[in-house]
Amino acid sequence: MADVSLLSASDQSDPTIRKLVQVTGWAVTLIGCLVALLLLRDDPVQWGRVVLNLCAGLVGVAALALVHLRRWLLAAHVLVWGVWVFVSLVAAGNGGVKGPNLLNYPVLIVLSGWLLGGRATMCLLALTGGLFGFFLWADARGALPVTPANNHYAYAAYLAGIVGLTATATLLSRRSYLGRVGEAQDMAADLAARDTELRKLLRVVEQSPESTVITDLQGRIEFVNDAFVARTGYARSEVIGQLSSAFSGNGLAPAQLAGLQETLARGESWAGEQANVRKDGVTIWESVVVAPIRQPDGRISHHVELKQDMSERKRAAEEIHRLAHFDPLTSLPNRSMLIERLTGLQARHQRAPDALNALLLLDLDRFTTFNDARGSEMGDRLLCAVALRLSERLGGQDLLVRVAADEFGIVLHGLSADAAAAGRRALVFAEQVAQALAQPLPLGLQAGDAAEEAQLQASIGITLYPQGVDDLPLNAMGRAGTALHRAKHGGGARAAFFEQGMGEVAAQRFHLERDLRHAIGAQELRLYVQPQVDGRGEFTGGEALVRWQHPRDGLVPPGVFIPVAEESDLIVGLGDWVLAQACAVLAMPAFSQRRLRMSVNLSARQFRQASFVPNLRALLATTGADPTLLTLEVTEGLVIEDFDDAVAKMRELVAMGLEFALDDFGTGYSSLAYLKRLPIRELKIDRSFVTEAPTNADDGALVEAILSVASHFGLRVVAEGVETREQVRFLEQRQPDMVYQGYLFGRPEPVAQWVERLAL
Ligand code: C2E
Ligand code: CA
Ligand code: CA
């Protein structure tokens, strides 16, 4: 145990004890001086005793001086040890144990006990014991001087002083002691009160429904409450001492986490949401406050994390969102989702106009009758079956919603930038939907419950969306509604466009495509060939041009059906058919022996087929056609789409001996940079320039420019649509070895007529 002194070298010591030092100092001074003074009355004066008492008094003075300097402990030491030395000297002179001075020792021991603490007092006790032993031993040997005759006054003064000092010291010490006991009691009461307060707070924290975590400044967990244990599934022993970040903050993005740490480093509180993972792996959403815990001196010692479970609230919010945005019967999104989607599409359109979308409103025909006849439960089942069937027809981005009772809305995404094409696609979709609904819809609760089936027809209203940057979702709904109304009015079971003209065009194109698909298989295509001649009027070859012998409409020109075919994969089959026919003709001796060339038009989609080159190679091999007599006509548009791929294919074919012609030259981009890199042998001047060339100066100049480009690149030139002698004159003046193609020299004729004529 440490030796506790009630005095310290500095100013911190007990004031009562300090007083004791002071009083003792005075007492020693007074007693020493008074006794010395009284001893002067002895006769003869014993100077030794006088001096010793005076020295004792001076010890008191020295102590007082140190008190003045606030060196309390030193003053106490000087007092105790100084007085002890002089008293011992006086005692030795006064006969040792027989002298009157022994009274001093108990007083000194008491003073030392209070002022200097246990260790010093033990020393003092030991010294005093030793001294007494020495006195007894010396006395027994008669070595000590005999007790001198008493000076009664001095003795009385000495006794009074000693007794008074003892009393004062005891009372002062008692006061100090009692004061301390009182303080200790107050402190104990205070501590007990605080303890109660703390227990109360701890219980609050413990039982709080908010999960509470207290960490040290390094983030190591020191405390978690019951709510934390219950919510996360971690036992206390698993988390105490671990980093808190291992159990929370998992839902924070790195930037958020950095923000949290920064806020805490500034000594501020952070509040936010976190997705934290329970021990069983389930994610819970918590609203979290992290706050610093400060000590009374303002220093931050810990952080507390208070977390509120939000999963329930989140689930409720999601449920509310679901109820607000989804139809409970079919689980399809509802009208408000439709509006939301249309709004989003409009915003996208405003940023960058791209492909058009279509909004379809579909209403079941005679649903009310069905409902009345078979009951509303069957009605509900029918609606669910329709929802299912419709959703099977949707593309990934498309949206199907239930707008009202038996009305569904469909948004078809990104149909085409071209309104006509977009309209056609929407109509194709509507047709497919009508067919899908016409198939029996199962209404039984179990699959295959054949008795419970229904067949349906529906009316569909269609509009394209958005029509301009200020087209609103509600406008589109209105348009589709009007169209739907029209379809219903027309007797139902049909689709109607809001844009009526578009409806008709789309329907025509739609039927055309359907018929054409049939035509290719049904041998309704015909190959026509138009002659090409040189300046002397000699045949150089011909261009293969396709016709469609329609069973009802007669001969259909390609301008009508080629664009439709080009929008679908039909062009591939059609183009292959033409190529096969052309090669068959080329292979005929009448053709090949005269080295007549055959030009065949190529479409972009057809040329883009990966199998195009190998197929053509195989075709040439099987027909035996001479590849060097085949010219493929391509347009700039075809080349531009995927320039590198197109050029690679062209080079491959050129290597086989084929030639390429650039068709309709002058109408497209006519970029010389492209021209330079394309492996072409022929330019075909478009009919539009040829027609006006002799009469219109601009067209004339353009033809001249084309001719100079052609001669620069060393290309053969074919003039298309030559109908008059003037045109020929104009052209031959500028380009003597021009090739002509036009009604002036011959119209496209069925290939059979050609073959016949050549055979003659
Ligand atoms: P094109 O390649 O520019 O073909 C020339 C067109 O001009 C042909 O129309 C031809 O009959 C017409 N024409 C020729 N000389 C004259 C003339 O003196 N006066 C007038 N007014 N017209 C003349 P056609 O046969 O109706 O073909 C139209 C377009 O259809 C062709 O334009 C071509 O782009 C396309 N086409 C025709 N057959 C095929 C084919 O087999 N495959 C592909 N991909 N496209 C074809
Ligand atoms: Ca052509
Ligand atoms: Ca042409």
| Chain-centre distance for alpha carbon 205 | 34
- Please tell me which residue, 225 or 249, carries the higher pLDDT value: 225
Sign (positive or negative) of CA dihedral 341, 347, 353, 354:
negative
Choose the weakest-confidence range: 129-143, 434-448, 483-497, 586-600: 434-448
**CB-based contact 302:293 (threshold 8 Å):** yes
372 and 273 fall within a common domain: no
Ligand 1 nearest-atom number relative to CA 748: 11
Residue nearest ligand 1's atom 37 by CA: 545
pLDDT of residue 4: 57
Of the candidates 460, 476, 498, which is a domain's last residue? 498
Separation between Cα atoms, residue 297 and residue 308, nearest integer Å: 30
28 CA to centre of ligand 1 in angstroms: 141
The one-letter amino acid code at 199 reads R
Question: Quick one: residue 146, left, alpha or beta (phi over 0 = left, psi -120 to 50 = alpha)?
Answer: beta
Query: What tokens were used for 536?
Result: 């002397």
Q: What is the dihedral of CA 371, 374, 378, 380, to 10 degrees?
A: 10
Of the candidates 498, 529, 557, which is a domain's last residue? 498
- Please tell me which residue, 599 or 137, carries the higher pLDDT value: 599
759 CA to centre of ligand 2 in angstroms: 25
Band (340; pLDDT cuts 50, 70, 90) = very high
Mean pLDDT within 650-665: 95
Nearest one of 441, 323, 455 to 392, comparing CA atoms = 441
The answer to whether position 557 is within a domain reads no
Query: What tokens were used for 727?
Result: 């045109």
Q: What is the dihedral of CA 177, 178, 182, 183, to 10 degrees?
A: -30
Nearest one of 245, 249, 221 to 235, comparing CA atoms = 221
The answer to whether position 535 is within a domain reads no
**H/E stretch holding 659:** strand 659-665
**H/E stretch holding 207:** helix 152-207
386 and 339 fall within a common domain: yes
Band (6; pLDDT cuts 50, 70, 90) = low
Query: What tokens were used for 726?
Result: 């003037």
| Chain-centre distance for alpha carbon 46 | 105
Separation between Cα atoms, residue 431 and residue 460, nearest integer Å: 10
The answer to whether position 305 is within a domain reads yes
Greatest CA span in the chain, whole angstroms? 188
Q: Which domain holds residue 266?
A: 210-315
Ligand with an atom nearest the CA of residue 532: 1
Separation between Cα atoms, residue 710 and residue 683, nearest integer Å: 7
The answer to whether position 594 is within a domain reads yes
Separation between Cα atoms, residue 357 and residue 349, nearest integer Å: 10
Nearest one of 733, 668, 674 to 700, comparing CA atoms = 733
142 and 220 fall within a common domain: no
Nearest one of 629, 608, 614 to 681, comparing CA atoms = 629
Q: How many CB atoms lie within 10 A of CB 143?
A: 11
Residue nearest ligand 1's atom 4 by CA: 545
Band (63; pLDDT cuts 50, 70, 90) = very high
Residue nearest ligand 1's atom 43 by CA: 601
Residue listed under structure tokens 């227990």: 199
pLDDT over 70, % of the chain: 95
Ligand with an atom nearest the CA of residue 685: 3
DSSP for 558-569 reads HHHHHHHHHHST
Mean pLDDT within 608-621: 96
Q: Helix or strand or coil: residue 65?
A: helix
Mean pLDDT within 251-271: 79
Separation between Cα atoms, residue 195 and residue 193, nearest integer Å: 5
Ligand 1 nearest-atom number relative to CA 741: 15
- Please tell me which residue, 241 or 438, carries the higher pLDDT value: 241
434 and 483 fall within a common domain: yes
Residue pLDDT, tens place only, 342-379: 999 999 888 888 889 999 999 998 888 888 888 889 89
| Crossing angle of the two packed helices 376-392 and 367-374, in degrees rounded to 10 | 140
335 and 306 fall within a common domain: no
Out of 526, 528, 568, 601, give the residue to mutate to test ligand 1, the one with the largest number of ligand atoms within 8 Å of its CB.
Answer: 601
577 CA to centre of ligand 3 in angstroms: 20
How many domains, the chain?
Answer: 4
341 and 462 fall within a common domain: yes
Q: Cβ contacts of residue 190 below 8 Å, gap of 6+?
A: none
84 CA to centre of ligand 1 in angstroms: 141
Cis peptide before 627 (omega within 30 of 0): no
Distance linking the first and last C-alpha atoms of the chain: 139
Q: Cβ contacts of residue 509 below 8 Å, gap of 6+?
A: 420, 424, 564
Residue pLDDT, tens place only, 96-113: 777 777 888 888 888 888
Beta bridge partners of 290: 270, 305
Residue 249 φ/ψ, nearest 5 degrees = 85, 5
Out of 562, 616, 667, 718, give the residue to mutate to test ligand 1, the one with the largest number of ligand atoms within 8 Å of its CB.
Answer: 562
Q: Helix or strand or coil: residue 66?
A: helix
Ligand with an atom nearest the CA of residue 691: 1
262 and 342 fall within a common domain: no
Separation between Cα atoms, residue 136 and residue 166, nearest integer Å: 26
The one-letter amino acid code at 139 reads D
**CATH, residue 378:** 3.30.70.270
Q: If you count them, how many residues does the chain have?
A: 760
The answer to whether position 605 is within a domain reads yes
Residue pLDDT, tens place only, 196-224: 998 998 888 888 888 899 999 888 999 99
| Crossing angle of the two packed helices 335-351 and 473-489, in degrees rounded to 10 | 120
Q: How many CB atoms lie within 10 A of CB 613?
A: 16
Sign (positive or negative) of CA dihedral 227, 232, 234, 240:
negative
- Please tell me which residue, 61 or 512, carries the higher pLDDT value: 61
222 and 161 fall within a common domain: no
The answer on pLDDT for 131 being more than 80 is yes
**CB-based contact 404:420 (threshold 8 Å):** no
Choose the weakest-confidence range: 341-345, 436-440, 668-672: 668-672
pLDDT of residue 162: 84
| Chain-centre distance for alpha carbon 335 | 29
Mean pLDDT within 739-752: 95
**CATH, residue 265:** 3.30.450.20
**CB-based contact 528:751 (threshold 8 Å):** yes
pLDDT of residue 205: 84
- Report the pocket of ligand 1 as residue ranges, CB < 6 Å: 530, 544-546, 557-559, 562, 575, 578, 601, 603, 663-664, 687, 720-723, 741-743, 748
278 CA to centre of ligand 2 in angstroms: 72
Cis peptide before 145 (omega within 30 of 0): no
Separation between Cα atoms, residue 704 and residue 699, nearest integer Å: 9
Separation between Cα atoms, residue 656 and residue 650, nearest integer Å: 10
Look at strands 739-740 and 749-750 and give their pairing.
unpaired
The one-letter amino acid code at 376 reads S
Residue pLDDT, tens place only, 500-531: 776 677 777 778 888 999 999 899 999 999 99
Ligand 1 nearest-atom number relative to CA 684: 3
The answer to whether position 585 is within a domain reads yes
Q: What mean pLDDT, rounded, does the chain reach? A: 88
Ligand 1 nearest-atom number relative to CA 686: 3
The answer on pLDDT for 11 being more than 60 is no
690 CA to centre of ligand 3 in angstroms: 11
pLDDT of residue 685: 93
The answer on pLDDT for 671 being more than 90 is no
Separation between Cα atoms, residue 478 and residue 472, nearest integer Å: 10
Query: What tokens were used for 229?
Result: 């244990």
Mean pLDDT within 427-432: 88
Residue nearest ligand 1's atom 10 by CA: 748
Mean pLDDT within 264-274: 86
Nearest one of 170, 80, 169, 152 to 119, comparing CA atoms = 80
CA dist 207 → 124, 201, 203 (Å): 60, 10, 6
The answer to whether position 754 is within a domain reads no
Residue listed under structure tokens 């679901």: 322
126 and 11 fall within a common domain: yes
| Crossing angle of the two packed helices 612-623 and 643-655, in degrees rounded to 10 | 20
Residue nearest ligand 1's atom 34 by CA: 601
Separation between Cα atoms, residue 459 and residue 487, nearest integer Å: 6
The answer on pLDDT for 176 being more than 90 is no
379 and 400 fall within a common domain: yes
Of the candidates 441, 472, 498, which is a domain's last residue? 498
pLDDT of residue 161: 84
683 and 656 fall within a common domain: yes
Separation between Cα atoms, residue 53 and residue 47, nearest integer Å: 10
Q: Helix or strand or coil: residue 589?
A: helix
The answer to whether position 519 is within a domain reads no
CA dist 287 → 276, 351, 514 (Å): 10, 36, 61
270 and 151 fall within a common domain: no
The answer on pLDDT for 1 being more than 50 is no
Nearest one of 463, 559, 582 to 512, comparing CA atoms = 559
